[in-house]
Amino acid sequence: MQVAVYPGSFDPVTYGHIDVIRRANTLIGTLLVAVVEQPPKETMFSAEERISMVRKATAGLKGVKIDVFQGLLVEYVLKVGAQAIIRGLRALTDFEYEFQMALTNRKLCDRIETIFLMPSETCSYFSSSMIKEIARLGGDISAFVPPSVCEKMKKKFGK
């Protein structure tokens, strides 16, 4: 496989995301980490801030490129000439949603495959939402996100 897309809001990028990026990077020639410009839910960080955080977190990974997109994921995947969508699965609760999305994307374009990757067990229990809540309440998030992200979140919450 030559090109795959790993889409997400990355609000913020976590060690779980980075783990999936590294795993996918070993399987694929070019991995496009595609930051959703306008996700369905409100984000803490702007698209530019999220792109910057992902770029910093993946610096040095050959074959990984960062991009931004809006609209239908399938249309973006076709536009960039990718053959697959990478999705991370943390728990059974993720599977149901991701399964529906994969089948819907297949219905929209049956040439695009969805590949599910599990993060390592050290990253499988937390989400960006949980990390934002911990940070909002003044907790230490350094075990969940890179130092540069930790600093950005402290600034956002005035800590």
Catalytic residues: 17, 41, 90, 128
Query: Is residue 37 classed exposed, middle or buried when 0-12, 13-18 and 19+ CB atoms within 10 A define those classes?
Result: middle
Q: Where are the alpha helices (DSSP H) in the chain?
A: 15-25, 47-57, 73-79, 92-108, 128-136, 147-156
**Rounded Cα–Cα distance for residues 39 and 9 (Å):** 6
